[in-house]
Amino acid sequence: MMNKSVYEALPALYIGGGILNAVALESPVRYVASAMFIGAGLLISNWRWQARHPRRAKSRRIAGTAGKRRAG
């Protein structure tokens, strides 16, 4: 099992590695590799944010009752 602090830092490490690749490497494919690293970091960050902040049910938003309490 992975250490929690390493697990939480991975998206930032991917994004930082992608930026570092774009700056440090001299290969013509550096931008492809950089885009893949940065994209992976952003995607993982988005997945984690969505999992930790679940959206309210669509039916409540559509009905206009989001944030209102029911009487009873």
Q: 25 lies in a domain?
A: yes
pLDDT at 8: 93
Instruction: Using CA atoms of 63, 68, 69, 70 in order, give the dihedral in degrees to the nearest 10.
Output: -30
User: Which residue in 56, 45, 59, 62 sits closest to 11, CA to CA?
Assistant: 45
Measured distance CA(7)–CA(27) in Å, rounded = 30
For residue 42, give its domain range.
11-56
What count of Cα atoms within 13 Å lies in the side-chain half-sphere of residue 12?
5
Cα angle 47, 51, 56; round to 5: 120
How confident is the model over 10-65, as pLDDT tens digits?
999 999 999 999 999 999 899 999 999 999 999 999 999 988 888 754 545 555 65
Q: Is residue 63 part of a domain?
A: no
pLDDT of residue 59: 46
Would you state the pLDDT for residue 43? Answer: 97
Q: Is residue 42 part of a domain?
A: yes
Give the pLDDT score at 21: 94
Q: How many structural domains is the chain composed of?
A: 1
* In a domain? residue 5: no
